[in-house]
Structure 1
Amino acid sequence: MAAPSHGLTAPLSGKLKNVNFRIGFVELGKKKKRVFVKCCSSGFNGSGICIEKCENWKFDSRKINHSYRVKVQASSSTMPFASPKSRFVSKQEQFFPRCTPRNSGPQSHDAPPKRDTGIANEKEWGIDMSNENINESGTNEDGSTWYRKSGEDIGENGYRCRWTKMGGQSHDGASEWKEMWWEKSDWTGYKELGVEKSGRNAEGDSWLETWQEVIHQDEWSNLARIERSAQKQAKSGTENAGWYENWSEKYDAKGWTEKGAHKYGRLNEQSWWEKWGEQYDGRGSVLKWTDKWAESELGTKWGDKWEERFFGGIGSRQGETWHASPSSERWSRTWGEEHFGNGKVHKYGKSTTGESWDMVVDEKTYYEAEPHYGWADVVGDSSQLFSIQPRELPPGVYPNIDFGSSMPPDDEPPPNR
């Protein structure tokens, strides 16, 4: 048997609309081969330059009459050709292919946002602000039109906003997309990055997505704070379906962190809601909670909620699961835990069917006293936000900071503390 060869043979190449793939073979033995596929999806980086983002997938294969039969091992949800309905490209990309000849107009490089995606960091948005004022438009070979604009707005107290807008529509106006990027700053140290994307397609699907990242100095603690938020919504044009999400994150330089989300969705006869939040004071105290509920058009409702509060191994958990019928009959089960910090936990609960329990058990207490993603992480992911350059401050001019509108009453502590 010949010694295994790990040299890569000349790759095969091909193209599936906006997805380029290259297949290579690694010799593992006389009759065995391992196949890898490098799949590259291409798109514009905001400056009219077509770039590729590549991923490697591994496959099993065997040689059959000088061709190769490929069995996918990766999850189908990660493959660009996973959906038979979309077949290689999203609905929006059917009107706006990702790569066209250089010097053409801007192309839509976004699809309707996915649910439960949270707040992406700035590296995933590909914001590339233009340093020049641009105002241009045109028509593509397929009859679709496009435009691209950029500019700068100046205001009081050193306010500066640099922005870029772009968009387009299909030849018949049935499909349309818009996108706007911006960065803001002033002399108080305030800096902001933002994106807004929206669109609709020929099937009537529509979507809107916004994202913001802000750094400023807290007027009460004088600490630097970073705040991030995202709003995402989409609506189906062919069925009674849609969803909405609002995400928020707040951090300060001493470890105080607050995160939360509010989600809503509907699919034909069912609707659902979800809210959750978590707060860390940076000194070991933590609060977490969630509340979910849903209902059908027939009137059936159900839900689940819980809350936990801990500090130094001492704290509590409590929650409720419930169900209500169209005739207003209601079932619920409530439960609670008291953690004493000495290895003892008091557990109790009851339900509307008569069950109940009340006991003290030996049990270790586990909770997360610090966020898995905190101040150091968000600072590391916010290099573009920090790099925003404010207008030059003239000699003898000082920032005008107005505390009047946000001053709390004398009997109340500063907010978020």
Structure 2
Amino acid sequence: MLDSSSSPSNNEAASLNQPTQEDLVVEGFSPLIKKYVPSMISEFAEFLAQRAQVKVSQESPWVLSINLQDNLLHRLHSQLLPLLNNQINTLSLSLITSDLWKDLGKNIQLILQTQSQLKHTIDQIKPIITAVCRGTNSPESRMNDHHLQGLKHCRIDRLKQRFNEGIMDPISQISLQGQNLFKQIQLTPKDLNLKFGECVDYKEHLTVQVHRASEQIESTIQLIKGSELDLVQESWESDLGQIDMFISEIICAINLPTHLPKEGDHQTPSRLVHAPTIELARLSIPMVKLSKLFFAKLLKCGMNQRRFRSYSEMCLDQIGTVTQSIRFVAQELDTLISRLFCADLGHTDTATARRELIECTNSLKSRVESALLLVLLYYLPLVPDTEGFPVQSYYQNWFITWNTQFNLSIREFQVAVESFDNTTF
């Protein structure tokens, strides 16, 4: 595989029936591949381990260990994860670069060294993940974690999942690709080795997996460093984009069509036809826009741009209510638009149309107000005032004004619904 000038030890190894450098590289990738265990398997193993443990009181030990676990997380995001990212990039560059074929012996030594370093770093990270996440799966602890500060389940659950699926999976894929590459080198005549430098398939796959791993490592660092409100809002941007789409859809729907739909036309309509439903759609725009405004005010461009304490006194259920509220609101708005089109097409009678539209807006109101209450009780008190400007008072007044306008928009829509009649369509 290698000529004598590039790696003389390989000929000696072959004559003595000892592993060559390529053999060592192939073997070195095996433990890295095996370090990834799919979540379903690891969670089942964890469940069995917990069942075998003797139940002990966790109250005092858990409280005392919070500072230690914070220190472990600090080491994780400030040292080990950045180190892991550097090692992944070093390994991938060693495998991707065309220089690999110019001085294969030298690069093999770098790969072997990086394999060892990568394994050592992972072996340091895994016990930290285990220690931080230990004892967090009982129903009682999950529903009563308000005292755990930055170690609540909303963070710990994501940390476990992100490390295993987001980081270890691509590391396993990179290692598998590297192992397969060196297996091919072992089977390829030495005069064809250089042609591997022109192969793009494995390069593209490696590049994708390295990018995925680096992205997930950075995401995990932010997960550890970020505030509780950052975690709550992790997926809000995409949901806000969906609400924007609903606003555009409603505006499009109230523009009068150039022709009425033909009988038997089963295509989904993009515009409303009848004046009563067009009026309802017009009246829905303020409450849809106000729904979006509430969540936008909480994002980094609003209240969350001010750095405050990284955790509240909320428990897992309450955090989940705020986290999921925007998604449920988006679902209610989607349902509302569907109900308007059904009423416009006469697919529902007047009584049913009224009831469904009222139920939909009541549910929308409930979702938003549940989140608002928790924000006012738990997050607003964490916002620091600045000298000469009472920030908390500003946001409190803003939310009061917003809530008044939101309730007014709901009421105006529901009053119009109560007089809605589609029997004349």
Could you tell me the TM-score, scaled by structure 2's length? Answer: 0.23
Higher helix fraction (1 or 2): 2
Quick one: higher RCO (CA 8 Å, sep 6+), 1 or 2? 2
Could you tell me the TM-score, scaled by structure 1's length? Answer: 0.23
Higher strand fraction (1 or 2): 1
Structure showing greater radius of gyration is 2
